[in-house]
């Protein structure tokens, strides 16, 4: 059975893919359905979901359409999650590959650097970076990448340590293949399975971290995200709890989808499970 069939036959993968597809469609459809953007005052404040035609999710304290914020927030949250995970993946794989392949003082130096980053509480480090540099989408992406790459680096290092003495790597050295080519074309492709699974969790963690930063008022003031919506609605939670519940539910479902997707990828990539 091929990877695609194994992946789609997993209930976790199917549910996760379906939920993630819904969020992706929301992000793509946001400028089409709500071209005026999420900041426009569309109706009277504090309309509850279903109370007025054309406002299916109601309005907030300033009369802004909650549905418009939810759709445009999907764009921002997904973009930050994917971009920060990609940056963390690139840096982590590079550090782990160099440390695991060459060993010696290179391994020691890179792993001590990794240890230094891991001694600081991740969310606290993200807050410090955003506060110092100034809140913006780019800053948030870099801050989340800075707290996420050490886990990828350790995973990649472990895979490279396991594979660098394999017979196919020794054969490549015998025929005169260079280190860079061995790393990029031989070891890296064979070590990607656990890294790909971890990448899906990185995106979920990035979305949660961004929501936490925005909730604390450290998000980009020029864009709206689900965390921004939760932060804006917290002061009215007792009288209009839907202001927090709607974007909070979107965060929960998206993170759940990514975790289910990770489980499905793990099942599909772990061929030993399918040999039993």
Residue 3 is predicted with a pLDDT of 65
Residue 72 is predicted with a pLDDT of 93
Residue 271: pLDDT band with limits 50, 70, 90: low
Please give the residue range of the domain that contains residue 167: 67-274
Per-residue pLDDT of 11-25, as tens digits, reads 888 888 899 999 999
Residue 2 is predicted with a pLDDT of 65
**What average pLDDT does the segment 124-149 reach?**
91
Per-residue pLDDT of 86-109, as tens digits, reads 999 999 999 999 999 998 899 999
Residue 245 is predicted with a pLDDT of 92
Q: How many domains does the chain have?
A: 1
Residue count of the chain: 276
Residue 242 domain-assigned (yes or no): yes
Percent of the chain with pLDDT over 70: 95
Whether the pLDDT of residue 32 is over 50: the answer is: yes
Residue 220 domain-assigned (yes or no): yes
Of 27, 107, 41, 112, the closest CA to residue 71 belongs to: 27
| CATH for 193 | 1.10.3720.10
**Planar angle of CA 249, 253, 258, nearest 5 degrees:** 150
Whether the pLDDT of residue 275 is over 60: the answer is: no
Distances in Å between the Cα of 126 and the Cα atoms of 115, 120, 139 are 16, 10, 9
**What average pLDDT does the segment 64-76 reach?**
92
Residue 110 is predicted with a pLDDT of 93
| Cα–Cα distance, 58 to 170 (Å, whole number) | 64
Residue corresponding to tokens 């080519």: 181
**What average pLDDT does the segment 122-139 reach?**
89
DSSP 271: G
Whether the pLDDT of residue 151 is over 80: the answer is: yes
Q: Collapse the DSSP code of 178 into the 3-class scheme (helix H, G, I; strand E, B; otherwise coil) and give the result.
A: coil
| Cα–Cα distance, 62 to 46 (Å, whole number) | 8
Residue 273 is predicted with a pLDDT of 43
Whether the pLDDT of residue 235 is over 90: the answer is: no
Residue 274: pLDDT band with limits 50, 70, 90: very low
Tokens of 231: 């932060």
Residue 150 is predicted with a pLDDT of 92
Residue 184 domain-assigned (yes or no): yes
Stretch among 145-149, 155-159, 172-176 having the lowest mean pLDDT: 172-176
Whether the pLDDT of residue 126 is over 80: the answer is: yes
- Helix H or strand E segment including 37: none
Residue 21 domain-assigned (yes or no): no
Who contacts 91 (Cβ-Cβ below 8 Å, separation ≥6)? 145, 149, 152, 153
Residue 162 domain-assigned (yes or no): yes
Residue 71 domain-assigned (yes or no): yes
Whether the pLDDT of residue 272 is over 70: the answer is: no
Residue 130 domain-assigned (yes or no): yes
Residue 61: pLDDT band with limits 50, 70, 90: confident
Residue 32 domain-assigned (yes or no): no
Most confident of the ranges 129-133, 190-194, 234-238: 129-133
144 close to 209: Cβ distance less than 8 angstroms: yes
Whether the pLDDT of residue 4 is over 80: the answer is: no
Whether the pLDDT of residue 146 is over 70: the answer is: yes
What are the two backbone dihedrals, phi and then psi, of residue 149, each rounded to the nearest 5 degrees? Answer: -70, -30
């Amino acid at each position: 059975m091929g990877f695609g069939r194994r992946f789609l036959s997993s209930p976790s993968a199917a549910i996760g893919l379906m939920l993630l597809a819904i969020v992706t469609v929301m992000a793509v459809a946001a400028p089409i359905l709500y071209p005026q953007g999420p900041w426009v005052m569309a109706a009277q404040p504090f309309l509850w979901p279903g109370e007025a035609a054309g406002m299916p999710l109601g309005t907030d304290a300033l009369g802004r359409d909650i549905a418009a914020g939810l759709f445009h927030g999907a764009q921002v949250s997904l973009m930050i999650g994917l971009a920060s995970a990609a940056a963390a993946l690139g840096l982590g794989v590079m550090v782990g590959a160099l440390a695991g392949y060459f060993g010696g003082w290179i391994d020691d130096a890179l792993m001590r650097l990794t240890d230094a980053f891991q001694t600081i509480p991740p969310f606290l480090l993200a807050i410090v970076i955003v506060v110092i540099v100034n809140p913006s989408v780019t800053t948030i992406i870099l801050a989340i990448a800075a707290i996420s790459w050490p886990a990828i680096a350790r995973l990649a290092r472990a895979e490279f340590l396991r594979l660098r003495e394999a017979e196919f790597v020794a054969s490549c050295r015998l025929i005169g293949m260079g280190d860079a080519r061995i790393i990029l074309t031989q070891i890296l492709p064979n070590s990607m399975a656990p890294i790909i699974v971890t990448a899906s969790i990185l995106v979920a963690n990035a979305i949660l971290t961004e929501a936490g930063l925005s909730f604390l008022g450290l998000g980009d003031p020029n864009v709206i995200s689900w965390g921004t919506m939760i932060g804006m609605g917290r002061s009215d939670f007792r009288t209009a709890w839907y202001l927090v519940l709607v974007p909070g539910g979107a965060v929960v479902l998206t993170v759940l989808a990514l975790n289910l997707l990770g489980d499905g990828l793990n099942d599909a990539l772990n061929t030993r499970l399918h040999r039993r």
